[in-house]
């Protein structure tokens, strides 16, 4: 059994606990939108009894095109995330891209995420670890499951053992990702909880030329498979109108479909952890 990682009294990862949901729109599109989405998702997780952490990004620094929307930026984005935390009453998670951002974001958010493309950047990894926050590492599309061991060692070198490890698919040829479900139990062999990113795993990077495409119709299937393999949290980006979203719309889940996906996952999770 993996160790317990405690975010707060209500949100605990691993050690046989039911899965936690990390969810929200990919990027902060507006203050009003993220507040609305946080409330809608929280209503669903409250009804199902699922611990919930709101996720959204203040800056998507790895967009395909120079013209792509990136977000409101660090200062304004953190102000909005703080409002979500205070008004909706949920912990918040965002990703960072530099050591300086890690320190600033760590003063506001409850969890910090290391993006997949930056998961081998030693200075960034250690800076995030030094915040003392719960750290969610997205395993790079270019890494084997056992390569995550080195990332764990970097984080542990800071004295931080509040670590989550996320599978989000591996590059398979051009503009395609596949998920090796063996990676989930392998990453849990580190002793830390494993997370499955159900929406980026169906992304087709650069699939639309100047932006990424995606196949959101496969999210329920991969979610069931991952929960069956044993996970401690689900990462799932959700939107009320993904076809009009400013980032990653093709792979985000429609909020009206979320409850059904989570109910199925709960039933499988109960069997796996019985």
171 and 142 Cβ atoms separated by less than 8 Å: yes
Polymer length in residues for the chain: 274
Query: What pLDDT score was predicted for residue 62?
Result: 78
Q: Parallel, antiparallel, or unpaired for β 253-254 and 233-239?
A: parallel
Query: What pLDDT score was predicted for residue 65?
Result: 77
Q: Which residue has the higher pLDDT, 84 or 248?
A: 84
- Tell me the C-alpha distance between 40 and 198, whole Å: 19
Percentage with pLDDT > 70 across the chain: 99
Please report which confidence band the pLDDT of residue 210 belongs to, taking 50, 70 and 90 as the band edges: low
122 and 154 Cβ atoms separated by less than 8 Å: yes
H/E element, 150: helix 148-156
Instruction: Of 80, 90, 82, 101, give the one whose Cα is nearest residue 54.
Output: 90
| Least confident among 10-19, 28-37, 242-251 | 242-251
H/E element, 114: strand 111-114
Residue written as token pair 């009320």: 240
H/E element, 165: strand 163-167
- Tell me the C-alpha distance between 254 and 239, whole Å: 5
Please report which confidence band the pLDDT of residue 60 belongs to, taking 50, 70 and 90 as the band edges: confident
- Tell me the C-alpha distance between 139 and 151, whole Å: 9
Domain boundaries, the chain: 5-272
Q: Can you say how many angstroms the Cα of residue 35 is from the centroid of all Cα atoms in its chain? A: 18
- Tell me the C-alpha distance between 236 and 197, whole Å: 6
Residue range 227-252: mean pLDDT, rounded: 95
Q: pTM (2 decimals)?
A: 0.96
271 and 256 Cβ atoms separated by less than 8 Å: no
Query: What pLDDT score was predicted for residue 211?
Result: 73
Query: What pLDDT score was predicted for residue 102?
Result: 98
Query: What pLDDT score was predicted for residue 207?
Result: 72
- Tell me the C-alpha distance between 123 and 166, whole Å: 20
Residue written as token pair 């970097």: 154
Distant-in-sequence, close-in-space partners of 231: CB < 8 Å, separation ≥ 6: 19, 184, 194, 195, 196
Residue range 225-237: mean pLDDT, rounded: 98
235 and 195 Cβ atoms separated by less than 8 Å: yes
Query: What pLDDT score was predicted for residue 67?
Result: 76
Query: What pLDDT score was predicted for residue 205?
Result: 84
Task: Write the pLDDT tens digit of every residue in 155-165.
Answer: 999 999 999 99
* Top CATH class, 5-272: alpha beta
Instruction: Give yes or no for residue 97 having a pLDDT over 70.
Output: yes
């Amino acid at each position: 059994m993996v160790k317990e990682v405690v975010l707060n009294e209500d949100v605990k990862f691993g050690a046989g606990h039911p899965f936690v949901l990390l969810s929200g729109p990919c990027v902060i599109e507006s203050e009003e939108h993220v507040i609305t989405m946080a409330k809608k998702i929280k209503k669903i997780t409250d009804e199902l009894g699922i611990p919930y952490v709101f996720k959204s990004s203040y800056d998507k620094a790895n967009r395909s095109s120079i013209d792509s929307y990136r977000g409101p930026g660090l200062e304004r984005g953190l102000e909005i995330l703080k409002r979500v935390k205070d008004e909706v009453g949920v912990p918040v998670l965002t990703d960072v891209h530099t050591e300086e951002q890690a320190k600033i974001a760590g003063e506001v958010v409850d969890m910090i995420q290391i993006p997949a493309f930056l998961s081998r950047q030693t200075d960034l990894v250690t800076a995030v670890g030094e915040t003392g926050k719960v750290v969610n590492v997205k395993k790079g599309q270019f890494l084997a499951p056992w390569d995550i061991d080195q990332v764990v060692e970097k984080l542990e070198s800071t004295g931080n053992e509040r670590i989550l490890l996320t599978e989000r698919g591996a590059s398979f040829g051009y503009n395609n990702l596949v998920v090796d479900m063996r990676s989930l139990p392998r990453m849990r062999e580190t002793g830390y909880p494993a997370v499955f990113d159900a929406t980026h795993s169906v992304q087709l990077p650069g699939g639309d030329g100047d932006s990424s495409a995606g196949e959101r119709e496969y999210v329920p299937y991969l979610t069931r498979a991952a929960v069956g393999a044993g996970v401690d949290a689900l990462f799932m980006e959700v939107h009320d109108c993904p076809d009009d979203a400013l980032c990653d719309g093709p792979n985000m889940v429609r909020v009206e479909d979320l409850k059904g996906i989570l109910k199925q996952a709960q039933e499988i999770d109960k069997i796996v952890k019985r």
